[in-house]
Amino acid sequence: MTNPKLDITSSPSSDNVADPDSGCLAVQTRRSLLLGALAGTACLAGSRQAVAEDDQPGADERPQKGDILVFTDGDREGAVVRSADLSLGGPPVHAWPKDPRTSVVRSGSRLNEILIVRLDPAELDEQTRSRAADGIVAYSAICAHAGCPVTGWVKSDAGDKVVFKCMCHNSEYDPRESAQVVFGPAPRRLAALPLALNDGALTVAGAFIGKVGAQQQG
Ligand code: FES
């Protein structure tokens, strides 16, 4: 059944179509009441933050070439992500793009959340390596199935590799091969974000490649 809230595309700037809470709703329908309540609290908090960020021009625009990347949460929330912050083989870091000229963090749209992981360059296929910076690769953190955030970094159900996993319906993506789907219902890979390094800091080298967000419904 068509659900326009989960119909998210790769608009190059503002996402009037996308509901910032769509992934939260998807999670809440599939958890216990208690977990649903907790998720709801987190979603509401995220919504308030998104509203505040929306007030800043550029906060909901997709990552732009030259943006720096900053941690989304934890002790280092807001700090610039540097190559030295990433351990070889993971786990991934979650980041927002940030405009270095205006200092606006582009957290006004959840579609801008990015997964970054450092891998052995020799493991990357040619296309992935061309977008990587010293083995560090970046992808949209929003699952292509129904728009949940991709949070897992686990051994694949389909092989021996450690891969990204969306816990909502178990879709898995291999970051070594352009985040292609290796398990689960996702219809397509995660959008890739080309990276560069500038004095050890990660920067965006180009726009997202591929669609960002959930599959087209109906
Ligand atoms: S939202 Fe269904 S697998 Fe991610």
**CATH number, domain with residue 58:** 2.102.10.10
Which residues is 88 bridged to in the sheet? Answer: 118
User: What pTM was estimated for this model as a whole?
Assistant: 0.78
Return the amino acid letter for 71. F
Q: Which of 208, 192, 113 is nearest to 151 (CA)?
A: 113
DSSP-H helix ranges across the chain: 22-28, 33-54, 126-131
Count of structural domains, the chain: 1
In a domain, 217, yes or no: no
Q: Which residues of the chain have pLDDT under 70?
A: 1-54, 216-218
Best residue among 148, 164, 173 to mutate for probing ligand 1, ranked by most atoms within 8 Å of CB: 148
Best residue among 5, 21, 145, 183 to mutate for probing ligand 1, ranked by most atoms within 8 Å of CB: 145
Pocket of ligand 1 from Cβ distances under 6 Å = 26, 143, 145-148, 166, 168-169, 171, 184-186
Is residue 86 within 8 A of residue 118, CB to CB? The reply is yes
In a domain, 211, yes or no: no
Token pair of 165 as six digits: 């996993």
In a domain, 215, yes or no: no
Q: Which domain holds residue 89?
A: 4-204
In a domain, 22, yes or no: yes
pLDDT, one tens digit per residue, over 115-172 is 999 999 999 999 999 999 999 999 999 999 999 999 999 999 999 999 999 999 999 9
In a domain, 213, yes or no: no
In a domain, 116, yes or no: yes
In a domain, 218, yes or no: no
Q: Which of 48, 51, 46, 61 is nearest to 104 (CA)?
A: 61
In a domain, 136, yes or no: yes
Q: Is the peptide bond before 194 cis (omega within 30 degrees of 0)?
A: no
